[in-house]
Amino acid sequence: MTLAFAHLRFTFPETKAIGKDLMTDLKTSGEHACFGGTVSFHEHHSSACDAGMRFAAYVPPQAAEQPVPVLYYLAGLTSTEETFMIKGGAQRLAAEHGLMLVAPDTSPRGLGLPGEDDDWDFGTGAGFYLDATAEPFSRHYKLDTYVTRELPQVVAEHFSASDARGIFGHSMGGHGALTLSLKNPDLYASVSAFAPVSAPMRAPWGMKAFPGYLGTDEELWREHDASGTAANPALARRLRPQLLLHLHLHGGPHTTPRGDPRTVCEMTDLLCIELSAISFQPLARAES
């Protein structure tokens, strides 16, 4: 089944189901009618993060008749679970094509950890979609496990969701979409990244976040750098041919901090050699 979503093309083959043995108490803070479906906002205790986590969901009208595919949106720095649902304007197209949209918060909140609220680009609102290994964040900042494992279980328990899923994001969320999909190719049928932090080891944000979350071992950092992960030929060969990868690059003054466009082009060229189904559609490219 192939679905059009704005200028993206999503193909949903069979994917591995995630177990549904975790029953979650879900608190709903708001629910609103939207294009024949509903936008809702939720909070629950996350076992992965050992803390409260929030997410928003758009459920299209088709979900009343049958389970629908889910697109997970990962937001950028300082955003919340509300940002995409309020500003993205994607609900109309999601309703048209029968897609559920799920947007998690960008970090746990209000934990009182040292340094958690000192800066806008680290700690609260800046979880970088990884599992932290360095104290004091290693207990609660488990965004990788939360997004790839726990949240799909919660969605499956409480919503009419099929096993077909894709992931996309912007900026820090584009980084998360790329790294999580590259490390879990069997979980996602599509990945889209808008102005992603595609080379965080060479960007100020990643160079600040990685030591704080992962410690000083730069080899561990590489596992969370999309440009380095995709350059691994063995991993590229593991990606399923059905996986569609869209990297949308924005030109202008913010291009270099997010990652040199040439790095992303090299990464994508390598993947295209391995997989003919991947498409690369840059929106704009900064001058060399």
Rounded to 10 degrees, the C-alpha dihedral 253/226/81/116 comes to -80
Please report, in tens digits, the pLDDT of each residue of the chain (288 residues total).
333 333 333 343 444 333 344 557 899 999 999 999 999 999 999 999 999 999 999 999 999 999 999 999 999 999 999 999 999 999 999 999 999 999 999 999 999 999 999 999 999 999 999 999 999 999 999 999 999 999 999 999 999 999 999 999 999 999 999 999 988 888 998 888 888 888 899 889 999 999 999 999 998 898 898 887 655 656 555 554 445 555 544 433 333 434 444 444 444 443 433 322 333 333 333 333
Q: What is the pLDDT of residue 236?
A: 56
What is the spatial distance between Cα 177 and Cα 185, in angstroms, rounded to a whole number?
11
> Do β-strands 190-194 and 244-248 pair in parallel, antiparallel, or remain unpaired?
parallel
State the pTM of this model: 0.79
Cβ–Cβ under 8 Å, residues 254 and 195: yes
Paired with 71 in beta bridges are 101, 166
Q: Please tell me the predicted confidence (pLDDT) of residue 241.
A: 47
DSSP class of residue 264 equals H
Edge-to-edge strand list for the sheet holding 37-46: 27-34, 37-46, 51-59, 100-104, 68-74, 161-170, 190-194, 244-248
C-alpha to C-alpha distance for 96 and 60, rounded to whole angstroms: 8
What's the confidence (pLDDT) of residue 267?
47
Cβ proximity of 114 and 147 under 8 Å = no
Which of 82, 244, 102 is closest to 160 using CA atoms? 102
pLDDT attached to residue 277: 32
Contact 229, 179 (CB under 8 A): yes
CB 27 within 8 A of CB 44: yes
Specify whether the CB–CB gap between 167 and 177 falls below 8 A: yes
Half-sphere exposure of 94 (CA within 13 A, CB side): 28
